Amino acid sequence: MAHEREADVDRTIVFSDGVVAIAITLLILPLTEIHPAEHATLADIVVENSAALGAFALSFAVIANYWTIHRDLFGPLRRYNRRIGLLNMFWLAAIVFLPFPTALIAEGIDGGFAAFYIGTLLAVSVLNLLIANYLANHSELTDGEAAAESRRHVVASAFSVGAILIALIISLFSPSIGLLALLLLFPAQVIAGRMNRARQVSA
Amino acid sequence: MAHEREADVDRTIVFSDGVVAIAITLLILPLTEIHPAEHATLADIVVENSAALGAFALSFAVIANYWTIHRDLFGPLRRYNRRIGLLNMFWLAAIVFLPFPTALIAEGIDGGFAAFYIGTLLAVSVLNLLIANYLANHSELTDGEAAAESRRHVVASAFSVGAILIALIISLFSPSIGLLALLLLFPAQVIAGRMNRARQVSA
Amino acid sequence: MAHEREADVDRTIVFSDGVVAIAITLLILPLTEIHPAEHATLADIVVENSAALGAFALSFAVIANYWTIHRDLFGPLRRYNRRIGLLNMFWLAAIVFLPFPTALIAEGIDGGFAAFYIGTLLAVSVLNLLIANYLANHSELTDGEAAAESRRHVVASAFSVGAILIALIISLFSPSIGLLALLLLFPAQVIAGRMNRARQVSA
Amino acid sequence: MAHEREADVDRTIVFSDGVVAIAITLLILPLTEIHPAEHATLADIVVENSAALGAFALSFAVIANYWTIHRDLFGPLRRYNRRIGLLNMFWLAAIVFLPFPTALIAEGIDGGFAAFYIGTLLAVSVLNLLIANYLANHSELTDGEAAAESRRHVVASAFSVGAILIALIISLFSPSIGLLALLLLFPAQVIAGRMNRARQVSA
């Protein structure tokens, strides 16, 4: 018996989608403010702005991925309460904040900027974990049936937090290797997926 | 007998959510235009831009809170008329305007900037009060059943207006204490909530 | 027998609302880039930027009004075709373009800038007229029942076009009086409303 | 038997519409940052910024056209899977990226900038082709009935890719003629439309 979603849930999701859509689109703004020197070729522009281009690609992929997770996390939500609204607002604040550390690493990754960037991702992933955990423990918000799905999200989010923590620690010693270590997120998701399947089989 | 919402109400709400989502996301833009000096560390950046970071955090919290109030106010709305559309447009204008005083207090809170910022919040809260009051007195727009809910919003909005007025007066003497006095909004909401519960019990 | 709206109509309207919501919110951006001189007071800022503040208020009111007209025009639309999609895209292009003449009149209204601004409004209003006229003559797109409503929009749009044309001509001689003449839009709407009611009674 | 669209499909489409709406509206931003010299007339401004105005018009038309194609492509989608989500995210990334090459050709079309611009369009059109092809071969995502529609989109996208490839090659020899050659997209769509009708008749 799937219940209708409350109107408050719908509006919160539409608002969140709007905020994420804007944050992901604003990432291109610094690149639109480039004024090429006379006789500059495309190669000059790309070389001069390679850090900004890399930062754009990285943050686009990061926000796109977090949006997909948000969609999966909130998919089973049927009823709204203040706690879930507050957690969502903190999540949105961290996403809206991301263009700031993105602009910093576009300028250079030393001076703690890489750690600041990775730390912001850590905040988003911790909030993912808190939201998944809250929904797993409050089946009255999701009609109960989705509790297993929310528990899977808890495992996946916990692995993400772990991978980002490792990247953060590495970035304190070597900023560029720290950013590369964010690629650990991919094997972390694969392992979390396998663990979830194993738990389902044994359940 | 909950009636369907009119299409005009739906579209007005979607449009309002879009405007608020953009206004809250644009708050980060000034911080993305920072060009750190060579060898600047993260600590330098945070210290230099502490006012801008504080202004971002404050305005994000303020707009997030006003959006939640807007969602609660318009939740029971079923039918649209010109008056409610006009009140909503003034409300949106004040929200869209907020990044301007936010940019001013990010530069410094003297010179009446804090009072200007708090005055803009006062405009939003007065419009909340006008909307809540209009809906409480026009039950034909909300199927009548929601009249009690709208009356609760009137009480809550009136307390907000009072708290912001106090902060505004304080800001004329001390801008920074005036901004801090905005924290009075939290106990004001708690007291309004208790008064509403007391009225419900006695009704 | 009100029919369901086609999915293409719904998506076109959601997309249009998104574009208008962003265009109206971007109007504040020039004001957020003000860097007040040291010891500047709020009064200094307001006086220095009075043209920009006036341009913001005018364009916010203009776009808010055009959005309301768009919502009324497209309300009865049930089916989508390429022509109505193309007219809507030109309409959106004119709305997205508006922040450019707005930025020009924020700098000064001489040199033809006021006429350029009013000319952009003329383009939007002519497109309103074309859309209203198209819908009034293609009742298969609106289930027929809404034909009378679309004819009323034709009259209202024609009056708007007339009022803006007068303002445009005046602005060629006196830019500031031309901008003030945009206030003619209000009596034009009132007269159009009366004519529509008179026609309804006689019909 | 038209099935309901999955909630994940709906949310993906709303998110995509938001991103495209923002990308198309941001195109005007460079033009809002013009500060006319004293006594500059409208004619001066238009002449000085003719490349920026042309780039705005071109990119607005391009994004509006791609949005229409996206709406047509995703119209028959009923079920969501990771592959279609990933293709859509790459598509959105190319659209969000477009304001960057737009800003470059607004400064001047030499130095490979025109080829870079046309290359970005090529990426979008290739992604259109991949999405159309994927849906044509996965009828389980579209209830099967829409397979013929998706096959038509494959033909139309392939013709677009061909036309843009020709424009790209031309732009390597003459950037301005290459941009003009984008007009080949219009006859390409007409020919694709005729071929589709011929196939439908013979089928």
For the segment D56-68, the average pLDDT, to the nearest whole number, is 93
% pLDDT > 70, chain A: 95
Query: What is the interface pTM, i.e. ipTM, of the complex?
Result: 0.89
| Per-residue confidence in pLDDT tens, chain C, 203 aa | 345 678 889 899 999 999 999 999 999 998 988 888 878 888 999 998 999 999 999 999 999 999 999 998 898 888 888 899 999 999 999 999 999 999 999 887 777 899 999 999 999 999 999 999 999 888 888 877 667 788 888 998 999 999 999 999 999 999 989 998 988 888 888 888 788 777 766 65
The predicted structure's pLDDT at residue C28: 94
Q: Is C90 an 8 Å CB contact of chain B? A: no
- The model's pTM: 0.92
Q: Is D60 an 8 Å CB contact of chain C? A: yes
Q: Do C15 and D35 touch (CB under 8 A)?
A: no
- Judged on CB neighbours under 10 Å (0-12, 13-18, 19+), B67 is buried
Alpha-carbon distance of D184 to D52, in angstroms, equals: 22
pLDDT band at residue D134 under the 50/70/90 scheme:
very high
Q: Do B41 and A112 touch (CB under 8 A)?
A: yes
Alpha-carbon distance of C46 to C44, in angstroms, equals: 6
- Average pLDDT of chain B to the nearest whole number: 88
Return the closest-CA partner of residue C200 out of C157, C156, C152: C152
The predicted structure's pLDDT at residue D145: 66
For the segment B99-106, the average pLDDT, to the nearest whole number, is 93
How far is CA D131 from its chain centroid?
A: 13
The predicted structure's pLDDT at residue D2: 46
Tokens encoding D40: 């500059």
The predicted structure's pLDDT at residue A114: 92
The predicted structure's pLDDT at residue D1: 38
Which secondary structure element, helix H or strand E, spans residue A181, and what is its range?
A: none
Q: Do B42 and A18 touch (CB under 8 A)?
A: no
Q: Residue B203: is its pLDDT beyond 60?
A: no
Q: Do D28 and C100 touch (CB under 8 A)?
A: yes
Q: Do D111 and A21 touch (CB under 8 A)?
A: no
Q: C with D: how many residue pairs have Cβ under 8 Å apart?
A: 82
pLDDT band at residue B149 under the 50/70/90 scheme:
confident
In this structure, of A55-64, B92-101, B144-153, C158-167, the range with the lowest mean pLDDT score is: B144-153
Q: Do C42 and B89 touch (CB under 8 A)?
A: no
Which position has the higher pLDDT, D145 or B38? B38
Give chains near B: 3+ CB pairs under 8 A.
A, C
Q: Do D85 and A68 touch (CB under 8 A)?
A: yes
Contacts of C202 (CB under 8 A, 6+ apart): none
In this structure, of A92-101, B47-56, C55-64, D32-41, the range with the lowest mean pLDDT score is: D32-41
The predicted structure's pLDDT at residue B161: 94
Q: Is C47 an 8 Å CB contact of chain B? A: no
- Judged on CB neighbours under 10 Å (0-12, 13-18, 19+), B91 is buried
- Residue C21, SS3 per DSSP: helix
pLDDT tens readout for residues A49-80: 998 999 999 999 999 999 999 998 898 888 88
pLDDT tens readout for residues B60-85: 999 999 999 999 889 888 888 889 99
pLDDT band at residue A200 under the 50/70/90 scheme:
low
The predicted structure's pLDDT at residue B2: 46
Q: Do B7 and C32 touch (CB under 8 A)?
A: no
pLDDT tens readout for residues D105-123: 988 777 789 999 999 999 9
Q: Residue B170: is its pLDDT beyond 90?
A: yes
**Alpha carbon separation from D61 to A16, A135, C178 (Å, rounded):** 28, 44, 31
Closest alpha carbon within chain C to D60: C93
For the segment A140-160, the average pLDDT, to the nearest whole number, is 83
Chain D residues within an 8 Å CB radius of C18: 17-18, 21-22
The predicted structure's pLDDT at residue C201: 65
- Residue A4, SS3 per DSSP: coil
CA distance A201 to chain D (A): 23
Alpha-carbon distance of D163 to D167, in angstroms, equals: 6
CA distance B99 to chain C (A): 6
Q: Is D100 an 8 Å CB contact of chain A? A: yes
Q: Do B96 and C18 touch (CB under 8 A)?
A: no
pLDDT band at residue B145 under the 50/70/90 scheme:
low
CA distance D173 to chain C (A): 32
| Most confidently predicted of A191-195, B36-40, B100-104, C193-197 | B100-104
B43 CB-side CA count, 13 A: 0
The predicted structure's pLDDT at residue A2: 46
The predicted structure's pLDDT at residue A35: 80
Q: Is C29 an 8 Å CB contact of chain B? A: yes
Q: Do A85 and B68 touch (CB under 8 A)?
A: yes
pLDDT band at residue D200 under the 50/70/90 scheme:
low
Q: Is A45 an 8 Å CB contact of chain B? A: no
In this structure, of A57-71, A132-146, B117-131, C119-133, the range with the lowest mean pLDDT score is: A132-146
For the segment D191-200, the average pLDDT, to the nearest whole number, is 77
- Judged on CB neighbours under 10 Å (0-12, 13-18, 19+), D37 is exposed
Contact B33, A103 (CB under 8 A): yes
Which secondary structure element, helix H or strand E, spans residue D129, and what is its range?
A: helix D113-137
Q: Residue B8: is its pLDDT beyond 70?
A: yes
Chain C residues within an 8 Å CB radius of B111: 36, 39-42, 44-45
The predicted structure's pLDDT at residue C4: 65
